[in-house]
Amino acid sequence: MQNNDKKYFIPVDGNPIEVSEEVYRAYYQPIWNIRYHARKNGECHCTKAQLWKCDGICPRCPFYAAGKKGSIDTSIGGEDDELTLGGTLADDAPSAESILMDKELLDALYAELNRLDPCGKRICELIMEGKTEREIATDMGKCQSTISYQKRKVLSILREALKDFI
């Protein structure tokens, strides 16, 4: 039997409908990918005779199994162990203390920025926009060496004023 004589079917309302190879592959490619990963994780136990019925929605399939998934509340050392997977996860949430420290730093930074002369403020704004010294010089109509000097001066002032935070 040559490849041209092969027939391809997809399920429509639970019945196999003959389609072209192109339609067949377009329909099944994402399903094959889902089924491959489900089988790899022990979630799919679909028999070869039933594969044509697979729609890639595993949880509603009669051949679906829980697989290798686990709960974060499952004990790690056995059922009598109180240590769970969830108990070993790091808590990335900032502490109240670190939030207060950040607020104090920002308040101090804003206070120092407000004390700067207009030229120093503008240089800081342009730095925060990601501009280079050359772009800042062009924007402010000054030479790059002047901007470089003023930038160092402004950063030195801010560094000294915020030394308790850094």
Residue 135: which pLDDT band, with cuts at 50, 70 and 90? very high
Residues paired with 8 in a beta bridge: 19
Count other C-beta atoms under 10 Å from residue 127's C-beta.
15
- Give the DSSP letter of residue 21: H
Q: What is the reported pLDDT for 85?
A: 64
- Comparing 115 with 38, the larger pLDDT belongs to 115
**Where in the chain are the domains?**
3-69, 96-161
Q: What is the pLDDT of residue 9?
A: 81
Q: Which of 121, 99, 101 is nearest to 110 (CA)?
A: 121
CATH number for the domain whose boundaries are 96-161: 1.10.10.10
Q: What is the pLDDT of residue 10?
A: 81
Residue 40 scores a pLDDT above 80: no
Distance CA 120, CA 108 (A): 16
Q: Residue 77 pLDDT more than 70?
A: no
